[in-house]
Amino acid sequence: MRYLLSVSAFLFPNFVFAASSGINFASITTFLLFVLFTLGISYWASKRTKSSAAFYTAGGQISAKQNGTAIAGDFMSAASFLGITGLIYSVGFDGLILAVGALAGWPLMLFVISERVRNLGKFTFTDVVSYRLQQRPIKAIATVGSITVIVLYLVAQLVGAGKLIELLFGLSYEVAVLIIGILVMVYVTVGGMLATTWVQIVKATLLVFGVTLMCILLMAVMNFNVDAIFIEASAVHPKGDQILQPGSFFTDPIQAITIAITMMCGLLGLPHVLMRIFTVADMGTARRSMFYASGIMGYFYTMTILIGFSAIILVSTNPDFFNNGELIGGTNMVAIHLSKVLGGDILMGFMSAVAFATILAVVAGLIVAGSAAISHDIYAELICKRNPDPEKELKLTRIAAVTLCFIGMGISILFQYQNVAFIAVMPLVIAASVNFPILILAMFWRDLTTKGAVAGGVVGLISSVALIVLGPKVWVSIVGAPMAIFPYDYPALFTMTAAFITMFVVSKLDHSAEAAEDRLKFDKQLIASELATEVSVAADH
């Protein structure tokens, strides 16, 4: 035993220290139970995942309620639960911009995009944008954009996961990220989309139950007086009444506008969310899925507002959660600390496990979408020209999943001290600047040509990555420069506009034979998208 403790102390000194100082065993027990349960789901799903179609979209056999819950689970990420509540705790009203922006995208997803995407695609969103455009160039730019979005979004989730496990177990951040990565590799490579879907359903159900329970308990503490929450929060916050009005953090209105646009339009270009539309059987089920997802998301974000402001009252005034004046775990962990105030170690253990489940489910969905982009869009569609070896494709899918996990883990080390809500907005900038313009114009604008789409996608990708790097969150926080070259954190207002303008100008100037063919196929695509017919123009490419 002494030898075992010595080895443990050498490998995981923080864990041994935490154990000796009183670690939260309720959190660890709930955490381990969830891991065992989800591993059981993966084993069950592995028996039903024997083809690439089953791996990518669970064979298209998910029901509307199941898929709607899973879609909500996909988007209710670490950034939503941990990051946004932490941002509201820090800056008050301005933290709502991220939540409002995200909610604004769901009606568009419900009424504008979901049906057409379901009717035109098969596995990924690149199937949709290449329906009437030339396969190779459009799939190339769409795939690059998708993988970039997925990797950055993956980093946000891994940062939240690493901080959470670091807090619960006392492990180092790097070891915590490694544990999460290995678990996700098992979920995805073994069970594919079916396992991922059910992990997301379980996670979404637990998360909604958890935030509801927290809100009931905090309302009881506040005598069910909602006004008292905001009054007392402003009384104890250093900024006072400023946290109840806009401008306390985002003093430049352009900054607020570009963040809201990033959230709204970026949602509509997220490949792992769009991929969920293909897990149902038809357009009606896809529409109902989005309806359920929208309702769940609206309820959830309302609860996060109460949690964020209540944390100002109950966490910021409690010295037990501070070490040398710094909040233990940082602002990303404020919701977890609040759960301990409201329900002790038991509720903290439950909410910690739920937060962990949130991260695992989203990461699994991202990995499935990323591996599908590599194996389906690049290998099966481009390299094998739609005639791949099924066994090789499935094997490549699993290899891609493992590779993406390692890439995400490596990059997440660099961003470990950033707010996860802010990190998660970065891939939304790229999604809004690359995927969204190509998707929306391919479906609704007859004059879009392949050259226009590719040119706009390249402009959106390069400009968004460049301006993110030159902005405050990377150039100052990561690089260490005293001042950012580009003043705004998230440049989607500028990069998305540049992408749309480029697509419009290049398409209008394109008078090639390929451009005429692209425009001619629009009518066939319109019929297929509206009437759910089996009209296909793929053979014409």
42 inside domain: yes
> What's the pLDDT score for residue 494?
95
Higher pLDDT, 325 or 314: 314
Pick from 144-148, 281-285, 369-373, 455-459 the range whose average pLDDT is largest: 455-459
Which phi-psi region, left, alpha or beta, contains residue 85 (left: φ > 0; alpha: ψ -120 to 50)? Answer: alpha
Convert the pLDDT of each residue in 83-115 to its tens digit. 788 889 988 888 888 778 778 888 888 778 888
Please check whether residue 31 is in contact with residue 356, taking contact to mean a CB–CB distance below 8 angstroms.
yes
Mean pLDDT of the chain: 80
**Closest to 434 (Cα-Cα) out of 275, 259, 266:** 266
525 inside domain: no
Residue 323 forms beta bridges with which residues? 326
Convert the pLDDT of each residue in 313-324 to its tens digit. 999 888 888 888
Q: Give the separation between CA 263 and CA 97, rounded to whole angstroms.
A: 9
> What's the pLDDT score for residue 8?
30
Please check whether residue 278 is in contact with residue 122, taking contact to mean a CB–CB distance below 8 angstroms.
yes
Please check whether residue 121 is in contact with residue 271, taking contact to mean a CB–CB distance below 8 angstroms.
no
Residue 396 contacts by C-beta under 8 Å, 6 or more apart in sequence? 374, 375, 379
DSSP structure class, residue 482: S
- Mean pLDDT lowest for which of 165-179, 213-227, 399-413, 478-492? 165-179
> What's the pLDDT score for residue 312?
93
263 inside domain: yes
Please check whether residue 355 is in contact with residue 336, taking contact to mean a CB–CB distance below 8 angstroms.
yes
Residue 304 contacts by C-beta under 8 Å, 6 or more apart in sequence? 80, 81, 84, 85, 88, 99, 211
Q: Give the separation between CA 143 and CA 136, rounded to whole angstroms.
A: 10
Per-residue pLDDT at 358 exceeds 90: no
125 inside domain: yes
Please check whether residue 56 is in contact with residue 123, taking contact to mean a CB–CB distance below 8 angstroms.
yes
Q: Give the separation between CA 338 and CA 454, rounded to whole angstroms.
A: 47
Convert the pLDDT of each residue in 21-56 to its tens digit. 345 676 677 777 777 887 787 777 776 666 666 666
Please check whether residue 271 is in contact with residue 125, taking contact to mean a CB–CB distance below 8 angstroms.
yes
Please check whether residue 341 is in contact with residue 260, taking contact to mean a CB–CB distance below 8 angstroms.
no
**Which of the four pLDDT bands, split at 50, 70 and 90, describes residue 419?**
low
**Which of the four pLDDT bands, split at 50, 70 and 90, describes residue 209?**
very high
Q: Give the separation between CA 303 and CA 280, rounded to whole angstroms.
A: 29
> What's the pLDDT score for residue 501?
97
Number of other residues whose CB lies within 10 A of the CB of residue 469: 16
> What's the pLDDT score for residue 163?
74
Pick from 35-39, 139-143, 186-190, 388-392 the range whose average pLDDT is largest: 139-143
Residue 434 contacts by C-beta under 8 Å, 6 or more apart in sequence? 141, 142, 145, 148, 149, 269, 457, 460, 461, 464, 499
DSSP, collapsed to helix, strand or coil, labels residue 323 as strand
515 inside domain: no
DSSP, collapsed to helix, strand or coil, labels residue 327 as strand
> What's the pLDDT score for residue 48?
67
Convert the pLDDT of each residue in 301-312 to its tens digit. 889 999 999 999
Number of other residues whose CB lies within 10 A of the CB of residue 1: 5
- Mean pLDDT lowest for which of 186-190, 256-260, 482-486? 186-190
**Which of the four pLDDT bands, split at 50, 70 and 90, describes residue 381?**
confident
Per-residue pLDDT at 390 exceeds 80: no
Residue 483, φ and ψ in degrees, nearest 5: -150, 140
482 inside domain: no
> What's the pLDDT score for residue 184?
76
407 inside domain: yes
**Closest to 284 (Cα-Cα) out of 429, 110, 463:** 110
Measured CA distances, 516 to 272, 353, 509, 511, 541 (Å): 32, 55, 12, 7, 13
The residue segments making up the domain with residue 369 are 26-425
Higher pLDDT, 102 or 252: 252
Per-residue pLDDT at 476 exceeds 80: yes
**Which of the four pLDDT bands, split at 50, 70 and 90, describes residue 63?**
confident
Question: Total structural domains in the chain?
Answer: 1
Q: Give the separation between CA 377 and CA 121, rounded to whole angstroms.
A: 12
> What's the pLDDT score for residue 33?
79
> What's the pLDDT score for residue 182?
82
Mean pLDDT confidence for 503-524: 92
Q: Is 22 exposed, middle or buried (0-12, 13-18, 19+ CB in 10 A)?
A: exposed
> What's the pLDDT score for residue 144?
86
Convert the pLDDT of each residue in 114-131 to its tens digit. 888 888 877 777 888 888
Please check whether residue 206 is in contact with residue 354, taking contact to mean a CB–CB distance below 8 angstroms.
yes
**Which of the four pLDDT bands, split at 50, 70 and 90, describes residue 412?**
confident
CATH number at residue 347: 1.20.1730.10
> What's the pLDDT score for residue 78?
61
234 inside domain: yes
Q: Give the separation between CA 386 and CA 458, rounded to whole angstroms.
A: 25
Higher pLDDT, 177 or 437: 437
Per-residue pLDDT at 539 exceeds 50: no
The end-to-end CA distance of the chain, in Å, is 68
